[in-house]
Amino acid sequence: MPDTISLKIKRQDSPDKPAYWETFEIPYQPNLNVISALMEIRVNPVTRDGKKTTAPVWDAACLEEVCGSCSMLINGRPRQACTALIDSLEQPIVIEPFSKFPVIRDLMVDRSRMFEALRRVKARNPLDGTYALGPGALVHADKQQEMYTYSRCMTCGCCLEACPQINEHSPFMGAAVLGQAYLFNLQPAGSSLAGERLDELMGPGGHGDCGNAQNCVRVCPKEIPLTDAIAAIGRQLTWHSIKRFFTDPPKKHKEVQPQ
C-alpha cells in the first residue's frame, strides 16, 4: 500500500474568479472514501509543496449515496464522493466540480436547473389539502417495483454531467427529469397531470432534445434505466400528439381584410 494519498483538486474561490489547481498529500489510511480524504485535508490545508492554503469547499449531507449532493468529477467520471473509495482509484486522484453547472466555490455547484426543470414538468402528485383522502388506488406489484426503481433518483446531476446534449447551446432538461416525469405519469395520483407534463416535454428542452447518447445509464449511481424511461415517454408523446390532433379544436385563421 502507498504511504500517502495524492489528490489534485480544481479550485475556484468564487463564481467570477478563475479556476486553479492545488495538489495535496495525506497519510494513507485503508478504506477511506473521497469525502474522508477531503476532511483530512480540511484539518491541515497545506499543499504538497508546503503552501498554507484554505480548505477545499464541497457539498455533502447523508454520506450514504442518498442525497446526491456530493456529486463531483473524480478521475474524469461523474460520481458520488461518498462512495468513491480511495483504494479503488488511480493516483493522483483528480477531483473537479461538475462542468455543466455553475460553480459556487471549489467543488460546490448550483444544481438549481434540475429543480427548476422538475417544477416545469410538474414532477409531483397533486394533493387537495392535508386531510385524510382515504385509501389510494390499488397498484400491481410489478408496477410498484417499476415506480420504486425510478423513485430512487437523487437528482445528483451525474446524468446531466455525462450528457453531450447538456451544453450552453441546448435547453435540454436532462434524463433525470424525463425519468421523473415518467415516474409520476405511472402513479395513479400523478397521472392526472400527465397531459400537462407531456405538453411541457413537447416544448424546448424536452424529449426531442435527447440525442440518445445513453451516457446517462452508464454513470447513474442508482443504475436507473433512464433510457427505458426516455423511450416510454417518447411513446406517450406519440399517443398524446395523435390525441391532441383529433380532439383539440382547430385554430381559427385571422381573416385578412381587403385593402
Q: Where are the domains of the chain?
A: 4-109, 112-127+136-247
The pLDDT of 214-228, averaged and rounded, is 96
Query: Domain 4-109: which topology?
Result: Ubiquitin-like (UB roll) (3.10.20)
pLDDT digits (tens, 9 = 90+) for 33-54: 999 999 999 999 999 999 999 9
Please give the pLDDT value at position 250. Answer: 63
How many CB atoms lie under 10 A from the CB of residue 158? 27
Please give the pLDDT value at position 133. Answer: 73
How would you class 125 by CB atoms within 10 Å of its CB: exposed for 0-12, middle for 13-18, buried for 19 or more? middle
Whether CATH 1.20.5.440 fits 112-127+136-247: no
pTM exceeds 0.95: no
**Cβ pair 29, 21 in contact under 8 A:** no
Cell numbers at 248, concatenated: 383539440
How many CB atoms lie under 10 A from the CB of residue 164? 10
Q: Tell whether the model's pLDDT for residue 5 goes beyond 60.
A: yes
8-state DSSP, 251: P
Q: Tell whether the model's pLDDT for residue 247 goes beyond 90.
A: no
C-alpha to C-alpha distance for 217 and 159, rounded to whole angstroms: 7
